[in-house]
Structure 1
Amino acid sequence: MATTDINYKNRALTLHKSITAPHFNERTVLATSTWDYVDLWLKRNKKAEARFFWNQSRSFYEATLALPKTSAPLTAYYCFLNATKALLLTKGGQFGDQHGVSGFTAQGPTALSNERIKIKSGGVLPALCQLFGEQIDPQRVYTLKDILYNLPYIHRAFSLTFTDTELFIPIWNPKIVRSTQTHEAWLVAELQGKYANVNTINKLPASFERDLGAPDKFFIRSKHRFDWRPRQKTESLNRYKTFHARLRREIVYIHAGSNRWYLRRGGIAAGAIDRHCLALTFAAMHRLSELSRYSPDKLAKHFDCQHNWLLSEFIASAPTQFLDSISSEITGHEFFAPERL
């Protein structure tokens, strides 16, 4: 089927970091830090209460940078909590005074699989999940190991620590194309390097398939479609936003010098969790903060185990990833650090 790329406001239509309100027609914001930009955005949009929590989050973030890894989870979690409140207040979400998450340690040796987490029916974390259209089962118990397994920004560290099945497939050059004969539009992306093979194609989720338009390469496409009409760009863009939110349930990113997109593999992988990375990061850091505050001796034991490096990587990288995603959700913009000369 012949296709053509879709351009909107002279830019190729592609994936966006924000799910709730992506601004596809605006330029990327170059900033060494999103703190000041988001603060100004909240001020301009008269979100005084959200701005208060955003600046509280910044104070906890700066405190986190000066703490050792056995203490850092406590202030990192309160950084996440306040940033999440800022997001929810910006979106008009209702969340109450409870954090909405609890944890406990199961009997047995010191292991990530013995650190258990439950998301409650009300509070800040459930409100964050609901913002992304996710359901809550307050009876479900997650393990810290499974949550870390589902975070793409530490997946390499996880894979080197454990032998669990690789959960994410890197994709390149994602873009939206439409048929030249109909109004149907969809996502296409490319598999490259060691992932450009039939074995990877067989691991695609059910909603994706190989695009045979270029048989010498490994392109994939979404099976789902949406309607794009060039003469109805506003309506078409709204349809794409709905389609995009659906895509982003299966496609995640890592904040780096440029967006690095990953597709969740298909099949039922043991430990896979269908939940947004923000919610999972929030839950994981909450459990570590509980250990840091109430059982620092237990937390210290985790750093004497096989997963020492994985846990250290999470504590060090989670704040950057979390705040980049929160900043995009609050403002609808994408952020990158300017290149240094």
Structure 2
Amino acid sequence: MTRIEDKYGFPLFSKPVSIVNLGKNEKLIISDIWSFWDYVIKKVKNDKKGTGFLQSLLEQAKHFYQTAEDSPVKSQPLLYYCSFLNLAKIMINLNGKFGEDKIYMHGMSERNNKKFIDSVIIKQKKKEGVVQVAHELVSLFDPYVSESKLELNAKCMLNHCVGVHRAYSEIYNQHEIFVRVKSSSLFKHGKSIIFFAELQCTKQQMEFLNNIGYSVTVDDSGKCIYKESITISGQRPNRKEYASLSERIKEKGVWYYIGNSGYTLYLSTCSEHRYTQESIIYMMMFYLGSITRYHPYMFDRIFSDKEQWLMSEFLNTQPKQFLYLATANILGQSVLKSYSSF
């Protein structure tokens, strides 16, 4: 068994085909995400009209994001959502052919029901003649999610948001659902490539993981190991095969958080509301932005005192997570920010 290199964004972001070749498909470390996106747009789009449209969206996304960072907490959600909406339009246009002549709609609605625990976020189904931005974006991040209308309880959905999960578990008095991946590696054995992940895992958690479809065993040294493998066609795996193994891992479920030392990976013992970080953050920001826009006077009533702390944590940490994780997801390679504190 021979250890082989992780590349093409493996295991989190591998795609069969890249929409743009950047940095020889290696990990990208950047200091200015907005200038980087301007470069991506210019490299992908050859026509002047298409480039101008996407650059206008990028300018608005940047302005709304930077304004949100300097705004009071209760004013931030709508500004962040406006930024994400424009960035989302860029992302779906890089993966499809919509263009500036289309009618773009949010593709989401919400019912706050006067309490966060009862609030519902509705992802609309695809429509003819208009672009449902939320539908198109969530379909990129969560390709297994139903394309029909989807109603989600906001509180339950937030359970899988890694960056605020500890605060979430404390507030709602529940056990944490995430099992951390202590280390991972990729090996080749004959015609197989095998992903090994050592888990920080109890016996009960291992049972939970196996019950919902993972393959977790204990090795001779007592370590909990999660494995996934595929058969390859040649002597070395190609990009499509990296993507195929990555897809198998993501189909089972893997969550991640970007910090100063890179990406930390997790598996989940919870079988419900297993959406990606990118989808969760985008939909939650829409929900919070709608309250800010339509019911600002209800903010303190919808959220309990403890939940207001949770929302503050979310708004202080997750916008940057979305910015970098969504970029990596769309481009199909790891993206990190240089000299930055997350």
User: 1:273 offset after TM fit, Å?
Assistant: 1.0
Q: 1:102 aligns with which of 99, 109, 115?
A: 109
What does residue 72 of structure 2 align with? Answer: 68
Tell me how far 1:313 sits from its aligned partner.
0.9
Question: C-alpha deviations, 1:100-134, integer Å up to 9, x for none?
Answer: 1001122xxx5321221111013011111222423
Map of 2:2 onto structure 1? 4
Partners of 1:331 and 1:140 lie apart in 2 by 26
- The one-character-per-residue Cα deviations of 1:227-261 (angstroms, maximum 9, x if unpaired) are 13553543xx3122022123124011101111100
Alignment correspondent of 1:159: 169
Q: CA deviation at 1:25?
A: 6.1
Unmatched tracts of structure 2, length 5 or more: 127-131
* Amino acid aligned to 2:288: L
Change (3 A) 1:230 1:175: farther
Percent identical residues: 20
Give yes or no for contact 2:10–2:333 (8 Å, CA) kept in 1.
Answer: no
Q: Tell me, yes or no, if structure 1 residue 254 matches structure 2 residue 257.
A: yes
The one-letter code sitting in structure 1 at the alignment partner of 2:265 is: W
In structure 2, the residue matched to 1:200 is 205
Instruction: Give TM-score, length-normalised by structure 2.
Output: 0.84
What is the letter of the counterpart of residue 38 of structure 1? W
Match of 2:105, SS state, is: coil
1:140-159 → structure 2 map (5 Å cutoff): 140-159=150-169
What letter corresponds to residue 192 of structure 2 in structure 1? E
- Report the CA distance shift for 1:52/1:19 in structure 2 as closer, same or farther (over 3 A): farther
Corresponding residue for residue 189 of structure 1? 197
**Does the alignment pair 1:309 with 2:309?**
yes
Asked if the contact 1:13/1:175 (under 8 Å) is kept, the reply is: no
What amino acid does structure 2 have at the position aligned with 1:5? R
Structure with higher helix content = 2
Match of 1:116 in 2: 120
The corresponding residue for 1:42 is 41
How much does 1:138 deviate?
4.8
Mapped contact 2:117–2:154 kept (Cα < 8 A): yes
Distance 1:111 1:199, change over 3 A: same
Shift in Å, 1:16: 3.3
Q: 1:115 to 1:14 in 2, by over 3 A?
A: same
**Does 2:211 correspond to 1:209?**
no
Q: Is the 8 A contact 1:76 1:319 kept in 2?
A: yes
- Counterpart contact for 2:183–2:199, Cα < 8 Å: no
Report the counterpart of residue 287 of structure 1 in structure 2: 287
Deviations 1:198-217 (A, max 9, x none): 22211214432234443332
State whether residues 13 and 246 of structure 2, in contact with CA within 8 Å, keep that contact through their aligned partners in structure 1.
no
Q: 1:329 to 1:130 in 2, by over 3 A?
A: same
Question: Conserved in 1, the CA contact under 8 Å of 2:256 and 2:277?
Answer: no
- In the TM superposition, 1:130-145 aligns within 5 A as 130-131=139-140, 132-136=142-146, 138-145=148-155
Distance 1:245 1:144, change over 3 A: same
Corresponding position of 2:180:
170
SS in 2 for 1:226: strand
Corresponding residue pairs, total: 320
One-letter identity of the residue aligned with 1:92:
G
Q: Is the 8 A contact 2:9 2:333 kept in 1?
A: no
In structure 2, give the amino acid aligned to 1:41: V
Distance, in Å, in 1 between the alignment partners of 2:73 and 2:8 is 42
Please list the CA deviations of residues 154-192 of structure 1 after superposition, one character each: whole Å capped at 9, or x if unmatched: 11111121123422211022222233xx41223211123
TM-score scaled by length of structure 1: 0.84
Tell whether 2:81 aligns with 1:77. Answer: yes
C-alpha change, 1:243 and 1:177, in structure 2 (3 Å) is same
Closer, same or farther: CA 216–329 of 1 in aligned 2, 3 Å: closer
Contact 1:211/1:218, CA 8 A, preserved across alignment: yes
Q: What is the alpha-carbon distance in structure 2 between the residues aligned to residue 53 and residue 329 of structure 1?
A: 19
Tell me, in whole angstroms, the C-alpha distance in 1 between the residues paired with 2:14 and 2:134: 18
CA contact (8 A) 2:8 2:26 kept: no
Structure 1 distance, partners of 2:327, 2:147, is 27
Residues 37 and 204 (structure 1), Cα distance of their counterparts in 2 relative to 1, 3 Å cut: same
User: Given that residues 16 and 240 in structure 2 are in contact (C-alpha distance below 8 angstroms), is that contact kept between their aligned partners in structure 1?
Assistant: no
Note the alpha carbon deviations across 1:40-65, whole angstroms, 9 max, x for none: 12112226133332222111101101
Give, in whole Å, the separation in 1 of the partners of 2:221 and 2:280: 38
Q: Residue 41 of structure 1 contacts residue 331 of structure 1 at CA under 8 Å; is this kept in 2?
A: no
